[in-house]
Amino acid sequence: MDVEESLKYWRDAGHVARRTLEAMKLELQPGKTYHEIIESAERFIHRHGGKPAFPATIHSNDLAAHFTTNHLVQGPDGWEGDMVLQKGDCVKIDYGVHIKGHIGDNALTFEVGNTNNHTEQIKAAKEARDAAIEVMHPGTPWYKVGAAAAQPSLDAGFQPIRNLCGHQLKPWQLHSGVSIPSYACGPDNRGFKGVVEEGGVYAVEPFNTTGKSGLIENIGSPHSSNIYRVTGATTSRKARAKGQLKPLGAQLARNLEERYSTLPFAERWAFPMLEKPFPEADEASLQSKWNALVKKLISIRFLETYHALRCIDGGNICQFEHTVYIAEGGAEILTVE
Q: Does the structure show a pLDDT above 90 at 54?
A: yes
Which pLDDT value is given to residue 166?
A: 97
User: For residue 3, what pLDDT band results from cuts at 50, 70 and 90?
Assistant: confident
CATH 1.20.1560.10 fits 3-215+312-333, yes or no: no
Active site residues: 94, 105, 167, 175, 205, 321
pLDDT given at position 8: 97
What span, in angstroms and rounded, lies between the C-alpha atoms of 314 and 253?
Answer: 38
Please tell me the distance from the alpha carbon of residue 311 to that of residue 166, in angstroms, as a whole number: 17
Nearest to 32 by CA among 97, 93, 78, 77: 93
The mean of the pLDDT values for the chain is 96
Residue 158 pLDDT greater than 80, yes or no = yes
Q: Over 80: is that where the pLDDT of 319 sits?
A: yes
Integer-rounded Cα radius of gyration of the chain: 20
Q: What is the pLDDT of residues 220-269, one digit of tens each?
A: 998 999 999 999 999 999 999 999 999 999 999 999 999 999 999 999 99
Q: What pLDDT score does 82 carry?
A: 86
Which candidate, 100, 226, 233, 229, places its Cα nearest to that of 172?
Answer: 100
pLDDT score of 81: 80
Q: In what order do the strands lie in the sheet with 166-169?
A: 179-180, 166-169, 201-204, 322-327, 330-333
What's the confidence (pLDDT) of residue 177? Answer: 84
pLDDT at 244: 97
pLDDT-based confidence at 337, cuts 50/70/90? confident
The angle at the Cα of 203, spanning 199 to 208, to the nearest 5 degrees, equals 145
Mean pLDDT of all residues in 181-191: 96
What is the separation of C-alpha 56 from the centre of its chain, rounded to a whole number of angstroms? Answer: 8
Mean pLDDT of 145-156: 98
Could you tell me the pLDDT band of residue 76, with boundaries at 50, 70 and 90?
confident
Residue 172 has pLDDT above 90, yes or no: yes
- Please tell me the distance from the alpha carbon of residue 248 to that of residue 268, in angstroms, as a whole number: 20
pTM > 0.85: yes or no: yes
| E strands present in the chain | 51-52, 57-60, 63-65, 90-99, 102-111, 159-160, 166-169, 179-180, 201-204, 207-209, 216-219, 227-230, 265-266, 303-305, 308-311, 317-319, 322-327, 330-333
Q: Is the pLDDT of residue 324 over 80?
A: yes
Measured distance CA(21)–CA(41) in Å, rounded = 8
**Stretch 185-194: mean pLDDT, rounded?**
95
Q: Write the Ramachandran bin of 50: left for phi over 0, alpha for psi from -120 to 50, otherwise beta.
A: beta
pLDDT for 7 equals: 95
Q: Provide CB contacts within 8 A for 74, sequence distance 6+.
A: none
Predicted confidence (pLDDT) at residue 214 exceeds the cutoff of 90: yes
Taking residue 111's Cβ as centre, other Cβ atoms within 10 Å add up to: 19
pLDDT value for 192? 96
CA dist., res. 193 & res. 30, Å (int): 44
Kindly list the domain boundaries of the chain, sorted by start residue: 3-215+312-333, 227-305
Residues 80 and 311: their CA atoms lie apart, in Å, by 17
Select 227-305's CATH number: 1.20.144, 1.10.10, 1.20.1050, 2.170.120.
1.10.10
Confidence of residue 281 (pLDDT cuts 50, 70, 90): very high
Interaxial angle between packed helices 142-155 and 119-134, expressed in degrees from 0 to 180 and rounded to the nearest 10:
160
Q: How confident is the model at residue 108 (pLDDT cuts 50, 70, 90)?
A: very high
